[in-house]
Amino acid sequence: MSTLSLTSAFILLLKRDLVLAYRRRAELVNPLLFFVLVTAMFPLGIGNDPKLIQAVGPGVIWVAALLAALLSLDTMFRSDFDDGTLEQFMLSAHPISVLVLAKILAHWMITGLPLFIAAPLLAMMLNVPTDAIPTLMLTLVLGTPVLSLIGSVGVALTVGLRRGGVILSLLVLPLYVPVLIFATDAVKTSIVGIPTSAHISILAAMLIGSLVLAPLATAASLRISLS
């Protein structure tokens, strides 16, 4: 029996996932590149009227973030599933939900955080007023972890399937909608100049709620997928 404490197991796992991601730097930029590309497609598709672009800007950034998160979800458990690491998790003395949380955190740091850093630049390009950019950043920092958390349940359910990709988007996207609604509404509200604390509180509540519940559901789903 190992004497590793739960905290150090958590930190070790987090470090391991970050190191593995760092060794594959080329893959690391893919979600970010996708995010920027999708955002750039919208003005090309809807025309270059600055007013129109400003009106759809927050929504475009958030939809692009949603799609980028979805695209990167599959990497969360894929390699660990293929090489049997997940089965070793199941044998571990520690609760799987905590180990899963470490993997979700790592996934968010790899895919969510870069979006957060790139977002102000894209917001400027979409004519989002400077005053509203802090709100956009706040919604991203509260919202993108929810995307990783909810997404982890979907990935855990589909990781054993050969053609899981399309099903994953069908499972996960409807559940992303509340985040999308409140986040974009917060940014739009702040563009008009109305306080957004209500939206931010609801987003924070979603984050806390999914932080508590999603790892449990993910752990249960992994157990099913590996059975």
Partner 1 sequence: MGSPRYFYNVAGKMIPWFAISFLLTLIAGIYYGLFVAPPDYQQGESYRIMYIHVPAAWMSMFIYIVMAVAGLISLVWRIKITEITIISSASVGASFTFLALVTGSLWGKPMWGTWWVWDARLTSELLLLFLYLGIIALYSAIEDKRVAARAISILALVGVVNIPIIHYSVEWWNTLHQTSSVTMTGKQAMSTSMLIPLLLMGISFKLYYGAVVLMRARAEVLERDRNTRWVRELVEGEMK
Nearer to partner 1, 19 or 161 (CB): 161
d(CA 51, CA 47): 10
Contact pick of 39, 148, 158, 190 for partner 1 (by CB under 8 A):
158
Closest CA to 117 of 190, 175, 181, 31: 31
Q: Quote the least distance from Cβ 167 to partner 1, whole Å.
A: 5
Contact pick of 29, 170, 194, 208 for partner 1 (by CB under 8 A):
170
Contact pick of 137, 171, 204, 211 for partner 1 (by CB under 8 A):
171
Contact pick of 98, 178, 204, 211 for partner 1 (by CB under 8 A):
178
Q: Quote the least distance from Cβ 56 to partner 1, whole Å.
A: 14
220 binds partner 1 (CB under 8 A): yes
Q: Quote the least distance from Cβ 217 to partner 1, whole Å.
A: 6
Q: Quote the least distance from Cβ 74 to partner 1, whole Å.
A: 15
Q: Return the exposure string of 193-204: e unless at least 16 CB atoms fall within 10 Å of the residue's CB, then b.
A: eeebeebbebbe
130 binds partner 1 (CB under 8 A): no
Q: Which two tokens stand for residue 103?
A: 């993997």
User: Which stretch, 33-41, 54-62, 81-89, 213-221, contacts partner 1 (CB under 8 A)?
Assistant: 213-221
Cα 223 to Cα 82, 207, 216: the distances in Å are 15, 24, 11
Q: Quote the least distance from Cβ 227 to partner 1, whole Å.
A: 6
Nearer to partner 1, 122 or 147 (CB): 147
39 binds partner 1 (CB under 8 A): no
d(CA 37, CA 31): 10
Q: Which residues bind partner 1 (CB under 8 A)?
A: 150, 153, 157-158, 160-161, 163-164, 167, 170-171, 173-175, 177-178, 217, 220-221, 224-225, 227
